[in-house]
C-alpha cells in the first residue's frame, strides 16, 4: 500500500501536516493539493487543535509544482485553472485558518513550495534550508501568493531580486531579510519547532485568529480603515474567556491558563 502524500497527525492540541513525497522533495501534485486542502478543512473550526505545523518529510520542504504531474503541467492552457482551483484555495485556507500555522521549513522550499511557506503565519527553518523563488528558472511567474507575500515581507528590491534571478538564499539570509521568523542550528530545529507549537497551543487561540486577520488585511488598508478593523477585532477579543483569564492572571501575579476561546 502506498503511503499518503499528506500526513495529518495530532499530538494534544498540536496538529502536524506533513508533505510526504520525499523522493520528489515533496513536489506538489494536484492530488496532494486536494488532500492538503481537505486536511486544512478538517482543522478549520476544530477547537481541540490550537496550533498547526506544516512541514515536509526527508531533506526537502517542498520543490513546488511537480513538473512530472501530467494532469497539472501538460496542457499549458489549463494552468490558469490549476492555479485558481488547486493552489489559490490552499493559500486562502492557510491565511484564514483560525489557528496559527507554523511553516517548519525542514529543507529546500522552491517555487510554490516557497510560496506555501510564506503563506504560513510564522516560518522557522534549520540553517541548512534554502528558499528559492524558482519559477523564473522554468519561465513562470511567482504564484501561490508569492508575488503578494514577497514584497510585503522583504521589500520591493529584494522581492524583485529573488523573483527575477531565481537564486536560492539560505535560511540565515532569509531570517535576516525578514522572509522568515527564525533560522536555528540544524541540531536544534526539531526541538525548536515542537517548543514553538506547544507554546502557541497554550496561548489565547481566539485572539491569535483575530491577530492573523488584522495583520492579513492591513496590507491593503489605509490607517483609518485599519483603526476601524482594530476596534472591531478588539471588541471581539475582549469578549473571550481568555481575556478575562489574562487580566485576572496579571492582577493575581500568576501564569495565565488560556483555553483558546
Ligand atoms: O501547474 C503549474 O505548473 C503552475 C504552478 C507552478 C508552481 C511552481 O511551483 S513552478 C516551480 C516548480 N519547481 C521548480 O521549478 C523546482 C524544480 N527543482 C529544482 O530546481 C531542484 O530540484 C531543487 C533546487 C528544488 C533541489 O535541487 P537538488 O539538487 O537538491 O535536488 P534534485 O536532485 O534536483 O531533486 C531530487 C529529486 O526530486 C530529483 O529526482 P531524481 O533525479 O532523484 O529522480 C528531482 O527530479 C526531483 N524533483 C525536484 N523538484 C521537482 C522534482 N520532481 C518533480 N517536480 C519538481 N518540482
Cβ of 159 closer than 6 Å to ligand 1, yes or no, is no
Q: Is 90 exceeded by the pLDDT of residue 2?
A: no
Q: What does the alpha-carbon distance between residue 190 and residue 33 come to, in Å, rounded to a whole number?
A: 25
Q: How far is the CA of 149 from the centre of ligand 1 (A)?
A: 22
Q: Is 66 helix (H, G, I), strand (E, B) or coil?
A: coil
Has residue 24 got a pLDDT over 80? yes
Q: Is the CB of 114 inside a 6 Å radius of any atom of ligand 1?
A: no
CA distance 197 to 202: 9
Q: What is the pLDDT of residues 113-131, one digit of tens each?
A: 999 999 999 999 999 999 9
Query: Mind listing the pLDDT tens digit for each residue in 145-191?
Result: 999 999 999 999 999 999 999 999 999 999 999 999 999 999 999 99
Question: Does ligand 1 have an atom closer than 6 angstroms to the CB of 136?
Answer: no
pLDDT at 58 over 90: yes
Dist CA 242 CA 206 (whole Å)? 8
How confident is residue 1, by pLDDT bands cut at 50, 70 and 90? low
Task: Out of 1.25.40, 1.10.12, 3.90.470, 2.60.40, select the CATH number for domain 205-252.
Answer: 1.10.12
Any ligand 1 atom below 6 A from CB of 118: no
Q: Rounded to an integer, what distance in angstroms lies between the CA atom of residue 187 and that of residue 213? A: 33
> Which pLDDT band, with edges at 50, 70 and 90, does 3 fall under?
confident
Please state which CATH number belongs to domain 6-201.
3.90.226.10
Mean pLDDT, rounded, for 10-23: 98
Q: So what's the pLDDT on residue 192?
A: 98
User: Does ligand 1 come within 6 angstroms of the Cβ of 140?
Assistant: yes
Q: Please name which of 5, 110, 106, 10 lies closest in space to residue 58, comparing C-alpha atoms.
A: 106
Question: What pLDDT is recorded for position 225?
Answer: 98
Question: What's the first-to-final CA gap in the chain, in angstroms?
Answer: 41
For ligand 1, say whether the CB of 110 is within 6 Å of any of its atoms: yes
Tell me which of 57, 63, 72, 162 to substitute to probe ligand 1's pocket, judged by most ligand atoms within 8 Å of the beta carbon: 63
Q: Checking DSSP bridges between strand 101-104 and strand 168-170, what pairing results, if any?
A: unpaired
228: which 3 cell numbers? 476601524
Which element (helix H / strand E) includes 33? helix 30-43
The domains of the chain are located at 6-201, 205-252
Residue 62: pLDDT above 70? yes
Amino acid at each position: 500500500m502506498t503511503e499518503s502524500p499528506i500526513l495529518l497527525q495530532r499530538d494534544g492540541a498540536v496538529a502536524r501536516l506533513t508533505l510526504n513525497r520525499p523522493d520528489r522533495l515533496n513536489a506538489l501534485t494536484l492530488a496532494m493539493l486536494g488532500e492538503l486542502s481537505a486536511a486544512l478543512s478538517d482543522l478549520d473550526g476544530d477547537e481541540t487543535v490550537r496550533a498547526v505545523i506544516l512541514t515536509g518529510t526527508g531533506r526537502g520542504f517542498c520543490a513546488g509544482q511537480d513538473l512530472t504531474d501530467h494532469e497539472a503541467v501538460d496542457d499549458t492552457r489549463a494552468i490558469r485553472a490549476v492555479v485558481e482551483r488547486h493552489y489559490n484555495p490552499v493559500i486562502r485556507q492557510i491565511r484564514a485558518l483560525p489557528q496559527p500555522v507554523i511553516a517548519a521549513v525542514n529543507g529546500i522550499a522552491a517555487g510554490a513550495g516557497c510560496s506555501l511557506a510564506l503563506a504560513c503565519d510564522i516560518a522557522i527553518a534549520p540553517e541548512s534550508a534554502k528558499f528559492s523563488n524558482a519559477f523564473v528558472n522554468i519561465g513562470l511567474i511567482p504564484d501561490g501568493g508569492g508575488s503578494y507575500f514577497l514584497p510585503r515581507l522583504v521589500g520591493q528590491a529584494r522581492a524583485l531580486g529573488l523573483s527575477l534571478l531565481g537564486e536560492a538564499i539560505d535560511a540565515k539570509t532569509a531570517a535576516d531579510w525578514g522572509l522568515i521568523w527564525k533560522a536555528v542550528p540544524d541540531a536544534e530545529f526539531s526541538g525548536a519547532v515542537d517548543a514553538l507549537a506547544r507554546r502557541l497551543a497554550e496561548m489565547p487561540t481566539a485572539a491569535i485568529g483575530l491577530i492573523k486577520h488584522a495583520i492579513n488585511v492591513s496590507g491593503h488598508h489605509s490607517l483609518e480603515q485599519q483603526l476601524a478593523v482594530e476596534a472591531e477585532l478588539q471588541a471581539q477579543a475582549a469578549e473571550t474567556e481568555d481575556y478575562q483569564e489574562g487580566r485576572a492572571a496579571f492582577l493575581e501575579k500568576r501564569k495565565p491558563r488560556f483555553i483558546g476561546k
